[in-house]
Every structure is written in structure tokens, then in C-alpha cells.
């Protein structure tokens, strides 16, 4: 089993969906990723929080064996995002973003983290993603996420990061925006031309598309969930399940491993969306995952 380094946000989210509303619930890419990946492997977190970050939220990560040596606590308030979902809930409407201590986040890796075998660069400024890559020594497998803002205002740095990673995990809207493609199938092939060996396009209720240089397309639907409570963090959960599965396997990841990783990530995300914040994910066990995987096989098998 290998160690996974994740660099990303730890936040409090205020979220409204047709199912209700929560205020200052635990969120952030690093939290969702860590809770998912830690089901399979040891996770190391690099991030920053403020003085308002609650002891119970530290303990939640620690209860899953997550290494918090790289989590910095500074004076000020933790990153806060407020959003609303309507209709099919595939896209959030951002109402307010308060970067707070995250505004001046400059990831510094503890010495013990620099030998991490697996590295996931969650959705942060591309220049900071490059800074992280300059600090790690010979990682076995590197992945990244991004968002429409960086595609718009930091495109040059973003393309530099893409040349240095093995896999890009990105949502459908952002994939099309990045490539100018008219659909996710076209976008997937274009992204791989930018440098990574593979791309996974996350498509919400429609599942995912993976495209690799070696084997081309791999497409599957999402696990059918009739009532989505809160889709926040589903993509970061997917990434955590994806990387956790790969880190639990022997040797350098193959395309076959990545296909299975997509399925595990997708199934874990199907748990996350059934409650607000990290509530459902925090309660999900490997046994829950295996049970739903068995149900999923029935869904996709003729």
C-alpha cells in the first residue's frame, strides 16, 4: 500500500438544495478526497485552516488515519463557500466565496511528505500545483483537478501542469471549456493531446468518460440514485476513491487499474450525494462500498 499526498482546500460550506439547507458544514476538496481515499490507503494532507476550524473536524480525519502534519493553522477564518443548487443540480450557483486564510495559501511540504508515491493536486491555483510538483521526489503517479476560473485566467500555467501529470480529473463543462470541444467525447481525446496519459471526465448523474492513450475510451453510467440531497464534493470524492484504489494496488497503475479506480470513485461519490456535506461519506465503510459495487454490477451487466 502506498501513501497519497493531497493538496487542496479545507472549508466550511453553506449550501442550499431542494432538500434543504446547511450553514458552515464541513467541505473543501482535501476533506472529501481524504475521507474517500483513506478507506484504502494512508493519506497525507497539505492545506490551511483558520482559528475557527473545529476540533471535531480534525478528529474526523484523524479517525480515518489521515496524516495532518502538513495541515497549517493560521490566524483568521477558514475558507467559506456559499452555493445553491436548483433543477437537475448538475451545477452549483455560487452565491459567495470568502477565501479568508486560503487566499495566501502557499503549500510547503513536510520533509516526510516529499517521498509520496501518489500525488493529487486538487483544485487550487495552477502556479501552486507546479510549486507542489517541484517539492515532491519521483512520485509514481500524479493526478490533478482544475476549474473554469483557472482555465480562464491561468491557462498557461494550467497547461504546464497538464504536461507533468499522469491523469486529469475534470468535469464535463470544464473539459469542453478547456478544449473548445462540442461534447465530452471530443474533449477527452483533446485533453490527452495536452500531455497526460489519461483523462477522466466526471459527468454527474451520467457517470464518467475515461480516455487513455493506450486503450481509448471507457464509459460507464453512474450508480442510479433516485434522490440526490447534495452533490457538493462528489467530484472530490470520486478522485479520492480513484486514487485510494490505485494506491492499494501493487506496482505502477495500469489502464485496467484506472478503469477499476473510476468505478470505485463513482460508487463512493454515489454515497456522498445522499446527504449534506461529508455526513454520508464519513459513515461509509468498505463493506458499504462492496455491497453497492455488487449492486452496480447488476446495473451494468447484460
pLDDT tens readout for residues 17-35 = 999 999 999 999 999 999 9
Res 91: pLDDT: 82
> Angle at the Cα of 277 (from 12 to 106), degrees rounded to 5?
40
Weakest-pLDDT range from 85-94, 241-250, 275-284 = 85-94
Bridge partners of 216, per DSSP, are 212
Give, as one character, the DSSP assignment of residue 101: G
Residues 6+ apart with CB under 8 A from 209: 184, 185, 188, 200, 201, 203, 217, 218, 219
Model confidence at 249, in pLDDT bands (50, 70, 90)?
Answer: very high
Res 231: pLDDT: 96
Res 1 pLDDT > 80: no
Model confidence at 72, in pLDDT bands (50, 70, 90)?
Answer: very high
Asked if CATH classification 3.20.20.70 holds for the domain at 4-300, the reply, yes or no, is no
Res 90: pLDDT: 81
Closest by Cα among 109, 2, 105 to 45: 109
Query: Mean pLDDT across the stretch 261-272?
Result: 98
What is the C-alpha separation between 21 and 43, in angstroms, rounded? 30
3-class DSSP state of 180: coil
What is the C-alpha separation between 268 and 237, in angstroms, rounded? 7
Res 229: pLDDT: 96
Res 181: pLDDT: 97
CB 262 within 8 A of CB 208: yes
Res 48 pLDDT > 80: yes
Q: Mean pLDDT across the chain, nearest whole number?
A: 96
Res 11: pLDDT: 97
Amino acid at each position: 500500500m502506498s501513501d497519497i499526498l493531497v493538496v487542496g482546500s479545507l472549508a466550511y460550506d453553506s449550501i442550499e438544495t431542494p432538500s434543504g439547507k446547511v450553514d458552515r458544514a464541513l467541505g473543501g476538496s482535501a476533506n472529501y478526497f481524504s475521507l474517500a481515499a483513506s478507506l484504502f490507503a494512508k493519506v497525507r494532507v497539505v492545506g490551511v485552516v483558520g482559528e475557527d476550524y473545529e476540533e471535531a473536524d480534525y478528529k474526523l480525519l484523524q479517525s480515518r488515519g489521515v496524516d495532518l502534519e502538513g495541515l497549517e493553522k493560521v490566524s483568521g477564518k477558514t475558507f467559506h463557500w456559499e452555493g445553491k443548487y436548483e433543477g437537475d443540480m448538475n451545477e452549483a450557483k455560487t452565491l459567495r466565496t470568502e477565501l479568508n486564510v486560503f487566499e495566501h495559501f502557499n503549500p510547503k511540504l513536510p520533509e516526510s511528505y516529499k517521498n509520496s508515491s501518489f500525488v493529487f493536486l486538487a483544485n487550487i491555483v495552477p502556479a501552486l500545483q507546479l510549486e507542489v510538483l517541484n517539492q515532491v521526489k519521483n512520485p509514481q503517479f500524479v493526478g490533478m483537478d482544475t476549474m473554469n476560473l483557472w482555465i480562464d485566467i491561468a491557462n498557461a500555467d494550467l497547461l504546464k501542469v497538464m504536461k507533468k501529470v499522469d491523469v486529469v480529473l475534470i468535469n464535463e463543462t470544464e473539459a469542453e471549456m478547456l478544449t473548445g470541444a462540442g461534447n465530452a467525447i471530443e474533449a477527452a481525446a483533446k485533453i490527452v493531446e495536452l500531455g497526460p496519459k489519461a483523462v477522466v471526465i466526471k459527468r454527474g448523474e451520467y457517470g464518467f468518460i475515461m480516455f487513455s492513450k493506450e486503450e481509448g475510451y471507457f464509459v460507464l453510467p453512474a450508480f442510479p440514485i433516485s434522490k440526490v440531497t447534495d452533490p457538493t464534493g462528489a467530484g472530490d470524492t470520486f478522485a479520492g476513491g480513484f486514487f485510494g484504489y490505485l494506491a492499494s494496488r501493487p506496482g505502477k497503475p495500469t489502464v485496467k487499474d484506472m478503469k477499476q479506480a473510476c468505478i470505485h470513485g463513482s460508487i463512493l461519490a454515489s454515497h456522498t450525494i445522499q446527504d449534506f456535506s461529508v455526513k454520508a461519506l464519513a459513515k461509509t465503510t468498505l463493506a458499504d462500498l462492496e455491497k453497492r459495487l455488487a449492486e452496480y454490477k447488476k446495473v451494468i451487466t447484460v
